[in-house]
A and B are shown apart, each in its own frame.
Chain A
Amino acid sequence: MTNHWVDIKNADLVLIMGGNAAEAHPCGFKWVTEAKAHNKAKLIVVDPRFTRSASVADVYAPIRPGTDIVFLGGLIAYLLANDKIQREYVVNYTDLSFIVKDAFTFEQGLYSGYNADKRSYDKSSWDYELGDDGYVRTDPTLADPRCVYSLLKQHYARYTPDMVERVCGTPKDKVLHIWELIASTAVPTRAMTIMYALGWTQHSIGSQMIRTGAMVQLLLGNIGIAGGGMNALRGHSNIQGLTDLGLMSNLLPGYMTLPNEAEQDYDKYIAARAQKPLRPNQLSYWQNYGKFFVSFMKAWWGDAATAENHWGYDYLPKLDKPYDMLQTFELMSQGKVNGYICQGFNPLAAAPNKAKMDASLAKLKFLVIMDPLATETSEFWRNAGVHNDVDPAKIQTEVFRLPTTCFAEEDGSLTNSSRWLQWHWKGANPPGEARSDLEIMAGLFTRLRKAYREEGGAFPDPILNLAWKYAHADSPAPEELAREYSGSALKDLADPKDSTKVVRKAGEQLAGFAELRDDGSTSSGCWIFCGAWGPTGNLMARRDSSDPTGIGQTINWAWSWPANRRVLYNRASCDPSGKPFNPERKLVGWNGSAWGGADIPDFKADENPAGGMGPFIMNPEGVARFFARGAMAEGPFPEHYEPFETPLGRNLLNPDQPQAISNPAARVFKDDREAFGKAEQFPHVATTYRLTEHFHYWTKHVRLNAILQPEQFVEIGEALAKEVGVENGGRVKVSSNRGHIVAVAMVTKRIKALTIDGRTVHTVGIPIHWGFTGVAKAGFLANSLTPVVGDGNSQTPEFKSFLVKVEKA
């Protein structure tokens, strides 16, 4: 979230799209209820299904899965055409006035630089035009035909209301009604929040859907303000913490990135990330990358990380390609992976194409499961009848099951969607022989280190030199880890302004990332968490709910990254002179000598606004980008591409370019492409999702949840039910080109057939929660059906839109 849960109460308009907050986040949804009850807010829900969120919405509109960019792109065109944009905001705080290189082009769904063989782009033309002074050329009048404003307008001119109706199936009157409501928040006194989740991320163009939403919010001046923002609702209690700590295969903690194979040179690695400002007097905060990186390396390798060895840069792997989940399972299916450790992960259930997963896991020599529950993955070898029809005699994989504690059986911090690190204390001791993940990983590490120490091996240094300064080497305490990722001074730190003063003594915890240095004198395992456990103690354990301004800014409750800031980009809530756009909901402001207010300013604290420093300090431009430059795989502006399994077989936006039907820059493995189905054979559009009554594949092990939602079902509309001849409560077989499931048919008015480009398209809703372990009725894993293709940037699988055929079972 750019903002936070409580802040939703400040919204005048709530758009839930690409998510179902009432269903998946009922506790957080209370703030939507609050906005409606006490702020007269209206709620809009756009979703393929009439959801639990829709049940309390003021306006609902259906949409075909996977076409959100068309709906939002049309909205962008509408806002530009009707001048419903917050002009002072966009001219000053975004790149609309920036001039783009002449070589940049877009034709028939493809941007300049496309290489069809590699399915990727040469992005060199995707950039701004630089002037002689080295800074980007701009045209504040927005008249230049090559400025971002002109290109944006031109790009989305094709996204007309008629096109939206044709592609999305959303009735035009509904579309225009919703656009009009949204446009009403272009004024500084009205705020809209966007709440989204996996309904946007789980598409082959998911990242670009989210970007389109963010662009709408920028045009309306809704980023950085109370009641606004782009708010990603995270699906696990600590999945925000997972990404923050860099548990993606290409990341390091704090959104630093692993070097790639070509980056063997340390200085070049840093220079590429510590970007120089692209406009005069911009902060370009990533210029501090070296300080964050060196402090991180000191946290991991301690005294072994020195200036001479570039802080252990050679210890880091250099990626030849991304090793995301889909890539790893592809390698596994090719027999190139011998062993696999599943830590809190149930890939047989959670990864696409169960048949491929089954075959891949069977090629492993060993599989280690760390989980509190008996997951399907841990029993992938067991014949569970129709639900897992495998022959155990043919599977030689050795499976080790290590029971772990669950979150309620351990102390630690969970980072929620609001970016709050909230310390918690265990509620019970773990049962039986269960051990915490910390103990298991520590045990594994100490044994590996011993083996390397005694037997040697290829390049043992990163293992032997890893700093391991915990009181109990076999069981590091959560408090020790928290202090480590927050960070401390390794030497006495002199005041940069007065070298006779010491600001931090050696060993003292640091107050924040501004104290980090790149000379090896500071240590911080995750720079964005720096200060969470500061000189005064564990700030994550704070439970002060006082809200002095009444706008939900409880800044002494727990601790929020970065720097305990609650609303990101909050400098943008003020006009260029530093006065709040909306004094009623003031977050921060300039008082003539400093920035301050209800939040921690997301800005240089003493920067006079007259200097023109932009509010988006992480970008070298200082402003937000409509034009993504080279940051995205498929292009600087989001463009609609069909799901890889499309019911239309063509892209109505770019009908004459077969290479631009589906995401031209998405990675697709050969076997997975061959497993795609066609609309002729599988005419119905399927989408998978979660239900309130369950949490993923966990709670089917819990009797209470199983009582509430005991048996697998699929949701189909009345028209499709009639077509296939099934009654409500009867059974249907749903097949894709990869497998099938059989489930109870829930025939509902909540899913309607849509008219897409003149023909009828049915949507099939597939809740995911059932499997062959647990106390709920056994069912099929929903991912028996789903295709293996990920988003072009994040590789998140396309679980939200694929093709199936529904038959009476």
Chain B
Amino acid sequence: MALQSLDIVRRSATTTPSPQAREAHAGEVAKLIDVTKCIGCKACQVACMEWNDLRDEIGSCTGHYDNPADLSEHSWTLMRFSEHETAAGDLEWLIRKDGCMHCADPGCLKACPAPGAIVQYANGIVDFHEENCIGCGYCVTGCPFNVPRISKRDHKAYKCTLCSDRVAVGLEPACVKTCPTGAIVFGTKDDMKQHAAERIEDLKSRGFEHAGLYDPAGVGGTHVMYVLHHADQPQLYANLPAEPKISAMVGLWKGMSKPLALLAIAATAFAGFLHYIGIGPNEVDEDDEAAARREMEETR
């Protein structure tokens, strides 16, 4: 939430054009999460809580290492642990850091009906401006990765900001800075793809023939990418979608239903106008006035 409005390239539910003068000259940014280097230490979760001043509830053990058990308005990132047995009978413990993927084509932003509640910056970061959020939950429906969470307390949507406030002043996200094994790295998207290519080569040399980069085209690519041992089976990693797409509901909203809805709103306004022209304004007579006053006094 700390980048300048000049860096914003897209805003939710807004038709006026965004400023165009400034560009992200260094290129778009990306966070690369190398799942094959991750040891699930959760230091990233702590860094996220500390940097963003978030404290979730002290929960309970549900029979998994995933704690807290799910993303929430207080937990913007979370390690998800999956046990997988290979065809050869070997066990793999796949640990994926879950959180916002910062899609190039963000379903949340597209779905959002609140003007300026969701923005996309020139560097690719997708950010929520909670002060504009109306708590409708359309972003949840719009997200192919099931990431945004609505707070029960303030009815606003929350998710990872990719530390837009840090990135704006030339720092890496807090989770990147803290990661002890270098499993999370940050830089331009091009550099991250290059780094991923080296990692994938190493993995292939270790027998992971389907090692690869997760940067799904269905959402225009993402600004959070994964290196996976089994890029052919992303669903092994706590149901990471193989082909994420923006929900058909958002397509409907943006395609057919939004103009229809707008039409309906316009029709209502037009009907009101006709009413005014034909019958005249609705006026309050003295009986109505007296009845209202009585009611008010009774309730005192």
Interface residues, chain A, CB within 8 Å of chain B?
22-23, 26-27, 29-30, 33-34, 36-37, 40, 42, 50, 52-56, 58, 60, 692-693, 703-704, 706-713, 727-730, 744-750, 775-777
Contacts and interface: CB of A to CB of B under 8 A. Distances in A.
B61 interface: yes
A775 B56 CA distance: 13
B91 A706 contact: no
B62 A750 contact: no
Nearest to B45: A708
Interface stretch (B34-42, B97-105, B128-136, B235-243): B34-42
Contact of B41 (A26, A703, A707): A26
Contacts, number: 117
A55 B93 contact: yes
Interface of B: 36-43, 45-46, 49-50, 55-65, 67-68, 83, 85, 90-95, 180-183, 199, 202, 205-206
A390 to B, nearest CB: 26
Given A50-B93, A704-B49, A708-B67, A55 B39 contact: yes
A707 B57 CA distance: 7
Nearest to B69: A710
A37 B37 CA distance: 9
A190 to B, nearest CB: 17
Contacts of B67: 693, 707-710
A782 to B, nearest CB: 15
A407 B215 CA distance: 44
Q: Majority SS of interface residues in chain B?
A: loop
Given A711-B59, A744-B61, 10 more contacts: A30-B181, A33-B181, A50-B91, A52-B40, A709-B61, A727-B63, A730-B63, A744-B62, A747-B63, A748-B83
Nearest to B183: A33
Contacts of A60: 90-91
A37 B203 CA distance: 10
B85 A749 contact: yes
B59 A707 contact: yes
Contact of A712 (B41, B61, B68, B206): B61
A33 B37 contact: yes
B263 to A, nearest CB: 49
A200 to B, nearest CB: 21
Contact of A26 (B83, B85, B91, B181): B181
Contacts of B45: 708
A242 B199 CA distance: 40
Contacts of B85: 749
A56 B91 CA distance: 11
A750 B82 CA distance: 11
A703 B180 contact: no
B56 A707 contact: yes
A727 B205 CA distance: 39
The 8 closest A-B pairs by CB, nearest first: A729-B63, A728-B63, A55-B93, A711-B61, A22-B39, A26-B41, A744-B61, A33-B181
A713 B59 CA distance: 13
Nearest to A775: B58
A707 B58 contact: yes
B95 to A, nearest CB: 6
Contacts of B50: 704
B59 A26 contact: no
Nearest to A21: B39
11 contacts: A26-B43, A30-B181, A33-B182, A55-B39, A55-B92, A693-B42, A708-B45, A711-B61, A729-B61, A744-B60, A777-B60
Contact of B40 (A692, A713, A745, A747): A692
Contacts of B63: 713, 727-730, 744-747
Given A58-B206, A746-B61, A749-B85, A708 B40 contact: no
B94 to A, nearest CB: 8
A708 B63 CA distance: 13
Nearest to A31: B181
A54 B55 CA distance: 31
B180 to A, nearest CB: 5
Contact of A750 (B37, B42, B56, B93): B93
Contacts of A746: 61, 63-64
A745 B205 CA distance: 38
B58 A703 contact: yes
Nearest to A55: B93
B147 to A, nearest CB: 19
Contacts of B57: 707
B58 A706 contact: yes
A115 B43 CA distance: 52
Contacts of A29: 39, 180-181
A55 B61 contact: no
A698 B59 CA distance: 19
B36 A56 contact: yes
A791 B84 CA distance: 37
B180 A30 contact: yes
Contacts of B202: 36-37, 40
A91 B62 CA distance: 56
Contacts of A27: 180
A706 B45 CA distance: 12
Contact of A710 (B42, B58, B83): B58
Contacts of A744: 60-63
Contact of B91 (A42, A693, A745, A749): A749
B182 A692 contact: no
A136 to B, nearest CB: 46
Given A26-B43, A775-B58, A707 B180 contact: no
A776 B36 CA distance: 31
A706 B205 CA distance: 39
Contacts of B93: 50, 52, 54-55, 750
Nearest to B46: A704
A154 B49 CA distance: 58
Given A33-B181, A704-B49, A746-B63, A55 B58 contact: no
A692 B38 CA distance: 13
Given A692-B42, A750-B93, A707 B61 contact: no
A340 B15 CA distance: 75
B56 A55 contact: no
Contacts of A748: 83
B42 A708 contact: yes
Nearest to B84: A749
Contacts of B65: 709
Given A33-B182, A52-B40, A750-B93, A707 B83 contact: no
A707 B94 CA distance: 21
Given A710-B61, A749-B91, A52 B39 contact: yes
Nearest to B181: A33
Contacts of B205: 40
Contacts of A36: 202
A53 B206 CA distance: 17
Contacts of B182: 30, 33-34, 37
Contacts of A747: 63
A223 to B, nearest CB: 27
Contact of A713 (B39, B41, B49, B61): B61
Contacts of B38: 56
B39 A711 contact: no
A37 B199 CA distance: 8
A779 to B, nearest CB: 10
A517 to B, nearest CB: 45
B60 A53 contact: no
A274 B36 CA distance: 52
B56 A749 contact: no
A750 B64 CA distance: 12
B41 A52 contact: yes
Q: Which of A707, A727, A745 has the most CB of B within 10 A?
A: A707
Nearest to B60: A711
A112 B71 CA distance: 63
A56 B37 contact: yes
Nearest to A706: B58
B55 A707 contact: yes
Nearest to B81: A55
